[in-house]
Structure 1
């Protein structure tokens, strides 16, 4: 969705290069959170490096990379309020995806975690000191609500056993702005969508969507399938692929005005860990992903089943969920 598309598509845009006069503004747009320092060393191990080909003059990275990408429903700011984010006093992780990029940066797996998944939420450090309380049978998206990015990362690492090398968060206005700056995205829907909550009404077929309508598609759940979060995730996966394909089809280097608009949209609503909170670091990531195409991005959902305690919630389906996460370590 909006989140994984930001990493796997928008980082490629930033990596394409920006005019020197615009560098400071774009760099200043990004908000950084020191997640590594907050969590310390009690975390899953980092990916083990593989041997780089000796024949390559510029060998690719030798380690796989995992990025937790969140879409926030914050209503902070007039644009987010207009697009229908969360209340002004807080936000939830509306969408969560673990993006696993292979060591050669030529293939990726995007795993969505349903926000209604019941999990054990660990105690998380708070910025002002102290910590949140551990919670059992808590909805997954409450981690962000009670402890922000740090707790979101810690919770994902706790339930997956996978080290998150980076964190990327984008809000509603950032995603809509990115789509508009790209000139829209083309998405094929397999069924009619009638969702009064997201204000989206589409017939099955091919659609060219602007930012507001792409965001509505990403948020739709009641107008498709059984109305659960799983149907919405399927639409979000379509948007990830659509963003990648639009990036590939848009020659941004020959359109500097559009390039700047895209880069400004990407960075303007972006929160990252401190390893990605500068334009130079995002550019390095983007360049490393230049060989990644939509055809080599696999989108899946963490295996789940209905929760025994509540049919409106889900829990991880074992042993399939554990096997999936093990494959990404």
Structure 2
């Protein structure tokens, strides 16, 4: 029987002791007798352990919060486009196929002032490195497609989102100038127009990013065929394999003259070799599964990174990074857009056809560039480029056939085919036509420029060219019939939409699993 509680104004009372306990002692400071059911004290070691765990847990949470805030604060953002409209919805950054345009800016602001004055990089600067990172939905393949800075392209009309200033479309302009007036979004719009894809995100880094990233991973191994010195970039390397980091790493990826014939294509191969080696190092060192290393790399990169608004959160960046950690390095394909010296300026480049259009068609169809004969990924999105495979219109065309420019490029190996096809075009009502010198190709294709998809479909139907071989090509004005050896007589050999995509055998420069020595420019080899 217990004692009644004392009434208290605050509704509380003293602890109630059992009658049995009271019989043992009247001293209220003495607890219940042990034989009456002991109330055990918490051991000292458990209290200490619990306190330590609690402190550690709070520390981990605080550490994570600190890094999240720090990394988020590092980021700079910009608009994804400069006036274009997306026909596709937003992608799931963890599970969908994703294209990210990676840019290297030549801006001389802030930490980059040592590489020249601000006047050396007008407006928003130039994208002296431009690569399209294409990640498959199943996370088994990555294509890294480089666009030479000297490539002449058509830039669409762009609007600067900061000033609302509109800039007119330009023709035959170096691709690295696409962002100089209206910002990064204009570079995105230009690549979208060029490839027929719709880029989901972009990342732009400056000179300092390469230095800090290479330092964060402890250096990157590169290989050169001969000892070389480039006085412009200050790159000096001995023959064979070297580890570069910091300023030397930047010199390696910036040099314009040290490799190949001293042109932009040699620099692209060196950049791809650098990224291949960096990829192998990160995977071999277990960096992607080491939080401490990943935080160091993330800090180095984000401090020098501008990204689009849709990518501008640390969880999103981590989701994208997580997709890359298990990819086979042999399925990371480094590609350069096929080019030839430009007709308007031999010091510049233009896209080589049909190879360039074949590359972009393969990418739209989500083809594995390391194995073009493999079945496309089931999660490919054929709707990404609805104009890629037009069909002939059943009704009369809503245009005047006599005004449509159609050229014939005869790669069949049979010279007489040019006139035969021109006669067929004339009989079909296409009277404004011409002819071009062409290299031999195996498969006939009909290429078309912007606004000529319907004309191309009708030309293809007239000549018996399958719809799967009707392709957009940024470098074509009007419609171009590129005749292959399958069209040496009669109509082209029958193909279907599932036919293997035609690609040059050397379209992939290397994979991330290849160790490649860069060929030094003979003019800069040192003894």
Give TM-score scaled by structure 1 length: 0.84
2:353 pairs with one of 309, 318, 321: 318
Between Structure 1 and Structure 2, the one with more helix by share is 1
What does 1:250-261 align with in structure 2 at a 5 Å threshold? 250-252=285-287, 258-261=293-296
Counterpart for residue 12 of structure 1: none
Alignment check: 8 A CA contact 1:44 1:162 kept: no
CA distance in 2, matches of 1:88, 1:320: 32
1:111-122 → structure 2 map (5 Å cutoff): 111-122=145-156
Q: Which residue does the alignment assign to 2:98? A: 65
* 1:39 equivalent in structure 2: 83
Q: Which residue of 2 aligns with 1:7?
A: none
- Greater length-normalized contact order (CA 8 Å, ≥ 6 residues apart): 1
Q: Point out the structure with the larger strand share.
A: 1
- Note the C-alpha offset of 1:250: 2.8
Q: Judge conservation of contact 1:83–1:173 (CA < 8 Å) in 2.
A: no
Corresponding residue for residue 81 of structure 1 = 113
Q: How does 1:294-305 map to 2 (within 5 A)?
A: 294-305=329-340
| Match for residue 74 of structure 2 among 13, 21, 29 | 29
Matched, 1:249 2:281: no
**Cα RMSD between the aligned structures?**
2.4
> Contact 2:79/2:184 (CA < 8 Å) preserved in 1?
no
Look up the SS of the partner of 2:346 in the other structure. strand
SS, match of residue 311 in structure 1: coil
Kept after mapping to 2: 8 A contact 1:191/1:224: no
Bigger Rg, structure 1 or 2: 2
- Contact 1:46–1:165 under 8 Å retained in 2: no
Q: How does 1:97-112 map to 2 (within 5 A)?
A: 97-112=131-146
Tell me, yes or no, if structure 1 residue 233 matches structure 2 residue 263.
Answer: no
Unaligned runs of 5+ in 1: 1-17, 50-59
Stretch moving more, 243-252 or 175-184: 243-252
Distance, in Å, in 2 between the alignment partners of 1:35 and 1:309 is: 31
Q: CA deviation at 1:137?
A: 0.9
Q: CA deviation at 1:76?
A: 1.3
**How far apart are residue 313 of structure 1 and its match?**
0.3
* Structure 1 CA distance for aligned equivalents of residues 314 and 212 of structure 2: 18
Q: Which runs of 5+ in 2 are unaligned?
A: 1-62, 365-527
Q: 1:165 to 1:129 in 2, by over 3 A?
A: same
Q: Distance in 1 between matches of 2:296 and 2:117?
A: 22
Describe the shift of the 1:181–1:193 C-alpha distance in structure 2 as closer, same or farther (beyond 3 A): same
TM-score by length of 2: 0.53
The alignment covers a number of residue pairs equal to 298
Change (3 A) 1:48 1:200: closer
